[in-house]
A and B are shown apart, each in its own frame.
Chain A
């Protein structure tokens, strides 16, 4: 009887200690979280301040006078409408690239053909090549193909990617062969098998890859910067870089431009964060 009372006491003591530790860790993380989100909060709040308020020497946290003037300016004084259109085109093309990755992954996963091992090795090898090495020759190759200053020149270099092909292949190897055979026996063509059976079965990986494709397309910066010579092909990030150069002192306008780029991604991320974060477990990135 006495013994159990002692052990109860020590048990409740360890529970208390555990609870205290949970609180300490939670508070540290909360402080870190505030620190990490600070740039976002500051960006969004500054974007709604009039220019005079942003330039004031004692900054205000919340705008004294909320305004959407800065966002209007993006479209009136700068060509943000055009940049947005170009960015959307880049995003749409990158989804074509996603489809091509899925096709290649399917062939590597479900077909035995001459040279498949070597070709797959080649695909993986391209992951190790740093972008700085290929940057200049790709520019020269595109120049030979007369694709400088064209949308094709912007989207082609990054259209397919080894990592995407690899993920699709890994996932598609788990699709049972019998299922594909049955569909073929029913007279479905190869494209139809791929479109109506394989793709729907790859939904989890397709979701993760789709979100990442969208984010990468929306954020694409280097190739539009190198390939687009005139403004008509600028994407949002290149336009924002231009804005930083042209309106270097107008921070309110710059924050509006940044908010316009970042907030859609943040919304998409929060909506789909479960897929993204769980996606790492699916991708086997352990």
Chain B
């Protein structure tokens, strides 16, 4: 009896978590794959007999959908500009904070980390106000220096950059902390030895710090890249994809087709393409990382 109970205990402990994860993470993958081959919509949810298989039709349609193509290009724009900016800025801030000896430098950690824990809707509302063409603070400051107004959210290209600025502001904190943790893991003796050999700060940075941060940089670049490929909340709350779909990301495209147009099958096909893209890009990054290790 006792051994029977002892055998059951772990299952009792994991059961709730495993059931919830299976139901809301594992099962949905198969459901998504299944419905991406069907024409499921609002009518279909009410009466499943009206749902029919359409084979690869959804996939064919979605890759020739001009808005989907545009959303891919927009997402690539976000990734190509956003990811390097996040890495460089959060690393630079972490290095500076780590360099400082006074107590005030610890307070900077809090200041720079703050944006990353605040609510995305609240933040988007605040930034919409800052970006407002007539009443916004940004244009007012520009005017103070006799610079012309910037159409922050009205011009297709500038709107994308404005969203990147907001997302950058939110992303720096977390990555800065990761870099700081990694920096503190570097033994002080390395620097002492380098100083004895007469290496200046720049040499120490490029020859010791950066190489030893390789894994942290890799970790941050992978997670940041995956995050930006799923860029959603900022365009959703601030511009709703506009002007003229110039800020629509792939994730927003999927959300819109799923929950605003109720084309569930079509949206599922789009989401699977995004999933595959994320897997391929992550694998390429791992390949590159492995190659670099050979040297």
Contact = CB atoms under 8 A, between A and B. Distances in A.
A32 B93 CA distance: 9
Contacts of B21: 122-123, 126, 160, 162
Nearest to B107: A33
Given A240-B121, A262-B122, A29 B20 contact: no
Contact of B13 (A103, A241, A244): A103
Contacts of A143: 45
Interface string A41-63: 01100100000001101110000
B110 A273 contact: yes
Binding site of A, secondary structure by majority: helix, strand, loop or mixed? helix
A219 B116 CA distance: 11
Main secondary structure, interface of B, reads helix
Nearest to A108: B14
Contacts of B5: 190
Contacts of A257: 122, 125
Nearest to B257: A136
B9 interface: yes
Contacts of B121: 221, 237-238, 240-241, 244, 261
Interface residues of A, number: 90
A80 interface: no
- In which size bucket is the chain B interface? 35 or more
A261 B181 contact: no
Interface of B: 5, 7, 9-14, 16-18, 20-21, 23-29, 31-32, 35, 40, 45, 93, 96-97, 99-102, 104-105, 108-115, 117-123, 125-130, 132, 134-135, 137, 140, 169, 172, 177-178, 181-182, 184-185, 201, 215-216, 226, 229-230, 232-233, 237, 250-251, 254-255, 258-259, 264, 267-268, 271-272, 274-275, 278
30 contacts: A21-B99, A22-B99, A29-B105, A30-B108, A37-B114, A42-B129, A55-B135, A103-B16, A107-B9, A108-B14, A122-B21, A132-B230, A132-B232, A132-B274, A136-B267, A137-B32, A137-B268, A140-B264, A160-B21, A190-B13, A221-B233, A240-B125, A244-B237, A254-B129, A255-B129, A262-B119, A277-B177, A280-B177, A281-B184, A286-B182
